[in-house]
Structure formats: structure tokens, C-alpha cells
């Protein structure tokens, strides 16, 4: 495709993103007129609407943007590193590690009677980060002894399987009400973040995205496989290390504050590749970031609107919207390629 083709589609995507951002802030259990949304964004005088916007809607929308772009970028990096269209940001086992840590905090913490102390957002986020980091350290430690990416992929999947079964055991032994708290966390949510958490998530995400952006050359080279990448002067073990670190930051940060959000990381890179047929990460990365943010904004809107007063779980919506979208695009394009 020509340069101008990329620009046209980029502008279209940018416009779509802005539209989704504004409507996501405006729509919810209480609808706010678009004019009020815009005016309270630029002149923050206190009113009911502007309180809703500044205290609730805006942090939620920004969380959507951060989480969407982080997960999509993580998914893109994993698919390119492993040259596997089925890879997502969770293949390294990070989300499973985070889930296990959160399960321990919620399920065992409650039973031990310290639940009320531990139930805050920050303690769940801390637990999730710790769990994810421990898995990351294990993956990096093991990756020093293995030579190829497929082994890394298998190890990630095995860690996922092992931690998931531990979570299963914990769930089996827990009380019903604790189980429900954990279940709600595991369905993902962008609605429970406040400005302090958004700030931390933003810092983590920006670092991860910046690393990803600096990795565009090795990411492109990995598409040809390790031998060609080496011959093209890429330091394969160093770039693999940084790709893993960036993905871990992006996935770990999101999982800590929003729970394990499924599907976005797997689906968005495919959607982008069908929308703009390129394999160049210089173009793919920005498109994937904006598309990830847009998709999550859209899913958040649907989860707020579809259930009436009730907010539907985000994970259900991401998969319900994403799966048919990807299936229809795949059918019309015949084949999915990394």
C-alpha cells in the first residue's frame, strides 16, 4: 500500500478513536449531553455532570485507552516473536501468575480474617504485580537455558496451566461469597480505577510502549526467524529479553489494575493486519495501539449500555464483540497470517 493509503486509514482510525472517546464519556447509566461533556472537559467547574465525568467517566475512559493499547501491543510483540498467530500477551503465563496471587489474597485472605484490610484496589494490584513478576522472573531465568522461541512458548503455556490449576484448587476450597469476589475480578473491569491508579498504570504503559517502539527493528527481523535475524545484525538474545520485558510491563500493569482482560491482545493485531496489510512494525505499532484503545472503549460502552443499570463484565463483551468481528474479517480475507 502507498504512503498516502496509510495516512488516510490512520486519519480514519484517529477520528473513530476520538468519537469513541467522547461517546464513552457521554454514555452510561446516566447519559450526559455531548456539549456538556466537551464544556466540562475544558472548564472544570463543579456540577453533577462534571463530577461524574471527572471522578468516574474520564478515569475509566483513560484506563480503557491505556489497557487497550497495552494489551494489543503486547499481543503484537508475542505474535511476531513467536511467529504464531495464536499468541497473545498472556502466553508468557503472566496473567495466570497474577490471577494466582490475587486468588491467594482474596480467597485465603478472606478466610484468614484479614480480608477487609487486603480488599483495597491497591492490595489486589500489588498482589497481581507480584504474581506476574514472579512468573516473569521464572520465564527469564528459564529462557537463559533454552535456545529457541518455541521452548519459551511451551514454558509459558505450562506455567499458565500449572498456576490455573492452583487457582482451581483455591476456588474449590473457598466459600461462595469469596469466590464471587474473585470471579468478578477475573472477569476484568476498567471501572474501578481512580486517578492515582490511572497515573501508575499510565507510567507503566508508557514505559512498555516506549520500549516496544524502540524494538521495531528487531520485531521486524524476528518475522524472518532467528537465523536471518542474526545474519541481519540483530542481537537476538538481547532483543528477545527486551520484548519479554516490554510485554510483561504492559500485560502485568493492565492485569494488576483491570484484571485479566481477554481477547484484545490476540484479536487487535489481526484486525489491524486485515485493515492495513503490512508486516512493518513501524506502521503496525501505532495502528495496533490506537485500535486496541478504540476496541476497549467500544467494549466498555457496550458493557455499560447493554445491561441497563447493571454493568456487564468486560471480558464477556470483549470476546462477544471481538470474536465475530475477527471471524467475519478472516472469512472475507481467506487466511490469517502473522
Partner 1 sequence: MITSHQLAVGYNSNGDESVLLEDLNLHLREGELVCFMGPNGIGKSTLLRTLAGLQKPLRGELTGIENGKLSLVLTDRITATNMLVYDLVAYGRYPHLSWNISLREEDHRIIEEAIALTQIGHLKNKRLYQLSDGQMQLVMIARALAQQTPVMLLDEPTAHLDLNNRVEIMNLLRKLARQERKAILVCTHELDLALQTADWIWLATLNKKVVSGIPEDLVLNGAFDEVFQFKGFDLKTGKVEHEAHRNKPIRLIGKGYPYLWTKNALERCGYEVTADAETVIKIQTEQTTTWQLQDLTLNSVADLLVSLAKR
Give residues in contact with partner 1 (CB under 8 A): 83, 214, 216-217, 220-221, 223-225, 227-228, 230-234, 273, 277-280, 282, 335, 337-338
Q: How far is the CB of 83 from partner 1 (least distance, A)?
A: 5
Give the three cell numbers for residue 314.
Answer: 468486560
Phi, psi of 334 (to 5 degrees): 75, -40
Q: How far is the CB of 136 from partner 1 (least distance, A)?
A: 24
Q: Which is nearer to partner 1, 67 or 91 (CB)?
A: 91
Q: Which is nearer to partner 1, 14 or 277 (CB)?
A: 277
In 3D, which of 151, 62, 95, 10 has the Cα closest to residue 266?
95
Q: How far is the CB of 80 from partner 1 (least distance, A)?
A: 8
Q: How far is the CB of 109 from partner 1 (least distance, A)?
A: 45
Give the three cell numbers for residue 227.
Answer: 537465523
Cβ-proximal residues to 104 (8 Å cutoff; 6+ apart), any chain: 127, 170
Q: Which is nearer to partner 1, 23 or 279 (CB)?
A: 279
Q: Which is nearer to partner 1, 194 or 337 (CB)?
A: 337
Q: How far is the CB of 91 from partner 1 (least distance, A)?
A: 17
Give the three cell numbers for residue 220.
Answer: 521486524
Q: Which is nearer to partner 1, 57 or 270 (CB)?
A: 270
On whether the CB atoms of residues 132 and 248 are closer than 8 A, the answer is yes
DSSP code string of 194-220: -HHHHHHHHHHHHHHHHHHHHTHHHHH
Q: Which is nearer to partner 1, 117 or 334 (CB)?
A: 334
In 3D, which of 24, 186, 130, 153 has the Cα closest to residue 77?
153
Q: Which is nearer to partner 1, 55 or 151 (CB)?
A: 151
Q: How far is the CB of 221 from partner 1 (least distance, A)?
A: 6
CA–CA–CA angle 61, 304, 30 (5° rounding): 85
Give the three cell numbers for residue 287.
Answer: 495502528
On whether the CB atoms of residues 82 and 150 are closer than 8 A, the answer is yes
On whether the CB atoms of residues 268 and 294 are closer than 8 A, the answer is no
On the 0-12 / 13-18 / 19+ scale of CB atoms within 10 A, 316 is: middle
Give the three cell numbers for residue 180.
Answer: 464471587
Q: How far is the CB of 318 from partner 1 (least distance, A)?
A: 25
Q: How far is the CB of 213 from partner 1 (least distance, A)?
A: 9
DSSP 102: H
Q: Which is nearer to partner 1, 7 or 15 (CB)?
A: 7
Q: 145 — alpha (psi -120 to 50), left (phi > 0) or beta?
A: alpha
Q: Which is nearer to partner 1, 11 or 232 (CB)?
A: 232
Q: How far is the CB of 210 from partner 1 (least distance, A)?
A: 12
Cα distance between residue 95 and residue 85, in whole Å: 19
Amino acid at each position: 500500500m502507498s504512503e498516502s493509503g496509510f495516512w488516510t486509514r490512520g486519519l480514519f482510525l484517529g477520528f473513530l478513536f476520538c468519537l469513541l472517546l467522547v461517546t464513552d464519556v457521554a454514555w452510561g447509566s446516566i447519559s450526559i449531553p455531548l456539549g456538556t461533556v466537551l464544556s466540562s472537559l475544558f472548564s472544570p467547574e463543579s456540577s453533577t455532570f462534571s463530577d461524574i465525568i471527572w471522578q468516574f467517566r474520564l478515569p475509566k475512559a483513560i484506563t480503557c485507552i491505556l489497557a487497550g493499547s497495552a494489551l494489543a501491543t503486547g499481543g503484537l510483540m508475542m505474535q511476531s516473536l513467536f511467529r504464531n498467530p495464536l499468541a497473545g500477551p498472556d502466553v508468557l503465563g503472566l496473567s495466570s501468575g497474577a490471577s494466582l496471587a490475587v486468588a491467594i489474597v482474596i480467597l485465603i485472605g478472606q478466610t484468614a480474617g484479614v480480608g477487609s484490610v487486603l480488599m483495597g484496589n491497591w492490595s489486589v494490584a500489588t498482589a497481581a504485580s507480584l504474581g506476574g513478576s514472579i512468573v516473569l522472573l521464572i520465564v527469564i531465568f528459564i529462557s537463559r537455558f533454552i535456545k529457541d522461541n518455541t521452548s519459551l512458548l511451551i514454558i509459558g503455556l505450562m506455567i499458565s496451566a500449572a498456576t490455573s490449576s492452583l487457582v482451581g484448587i483455591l476456588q474449590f476450597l473457598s466459600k461462595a461469597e469469596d469466590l464471587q469476589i474473585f470471579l468478578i475480578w477475573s472477569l476484568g473491569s476498567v471501572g474501578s480505577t481512580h486517578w492515582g491508579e490511572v497515573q501508575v498504570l499510565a507510567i507503566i504503559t508508557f514505559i512498555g510502549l516506549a520500549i516496544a517502539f524502540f524494538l521495531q527493528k528487531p520485531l521486524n527481523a524476528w518475522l524472518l526467524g532467528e537465523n536471518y535475524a542474526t545474519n541481519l545484525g540483530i542481537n537476538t538474545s538481547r532483543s528477545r529479553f527486551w520484548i519479554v520485558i516490554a510485554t510483561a510491563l504492559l500485560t502485568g500493569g493492565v492485569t494488576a489494575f483491570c484484571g485479566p482482560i481477554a481477547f484484545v491482545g490476540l484479536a487487535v493485531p489481526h484486525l489491524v493486519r486485515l485493515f492495513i496489510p503490512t508486516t512493518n512494525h513501524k506502521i503496525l505499532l501505532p495502528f495496533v495501539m490506537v485500535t486496541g484503545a478504540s476496541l476497549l472503549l467500544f467494549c466498555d460502552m457496550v458493557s455499560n449500555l447493554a445491561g441497563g443499570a447493571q454493568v456487564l463484565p468486560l471480558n464477556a463483551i470483549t470476546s462477544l464483540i471481538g470474536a465475530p468481528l475477527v471471524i467475519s474479517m478472516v472469512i472475507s480475507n481467506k487466511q490469517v497470517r502473522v
